[in-house]
Amino acid sequence: MRRLLLLRHAKTETDSPSGHDQDRRLDDRGHRDAAEIGGWLADHPPLPNRALVSPAVRTTQTWEIVREAMKEAGPQPKVEFVPELYGADPTQLLTTIRMASVTDPKRLMLIGHNPGMHELALTLTGSGDETSRHALNDNLPTSGLAIFDFAIDDWNEVSFRRGKLVLFVSPKLLKQASRN
């Protein structure tokens, strides 16, 4: 069994001071939302063993905030900054996931960008929680987290439509749940 966690970066400023998309930083809401998702992860183990993070400023900042929120919850994931995650489409993302077979973590987290992350989540989903599937169909919002289980022994075996969507959560969904 392997678990894949897909996390989209948190909310960002519209433009970066440099004018380059990769340099966009988190805004105030992004900082709060990343901390909320990190706290949620800390409260819902097991934590990922490895995190693959796009090197864009917003994904790096999201990772740092999430990591900080998880630090008391258990062993910290090993992190690798993977340039190929920036602007990747679902096929490129799948290739990156399969390459995790080299280090073979049981639980792998990717922190990246839309539209690729949302499209990947949709194409990986073969079964799973119906409420989460419905919510994920619309969007993978900033700080959105999709958690998949795969009945496999090696990351090389991950393929489209074979994932079980265990849960989809976002700061907005967490706020709605706390009101009910």
Mean pLDDT of the chain: 94
In angstroms, the CA 7 to CA 110 distance is 6
Residue 180 has pLDDT above 80, yes or no: no
In angstroms, the CA 111 to CA 85 distance is 8
The per-residue pLDDT for range 95-145, each reduced to its tens digit, is 999 999 888 999 999 999 999 999 999 999 999 989 899 999 989 999 999
The per-residue pLDDT for range 11-23, each reduced to its tens digit, is 998 887 787 888 8
The per-residue pLDDT for range 47-70, each reduced to its tens digit, is 999 999 999 999 999 999 999 999
What is this structure's pTM?
0.95
In angstroms, the CA 180 to CA 163 distance is 29
Residue 159 has pLDDT above 70, yes or no: yes
pLDDT of residue 49: 95
What secondary structure does DSSP assign to the chain, as a single string?
A: -EEEEEEEPPPB-SS-TTS-GGG--B-HHHHHHHHHHHHHHHHSPPPPSEEEE--SHHHHHHHHHHHHHHTTSSSPPEEEE-GGGTT--HHHHHHHHHGGGGT--SEEEEEE-TTHHHHHHHHHEEEE-HHHHHHHHH---TT-EEEEEE--SSGGG--TT-EEEEEEE-HHHHHHHHH-
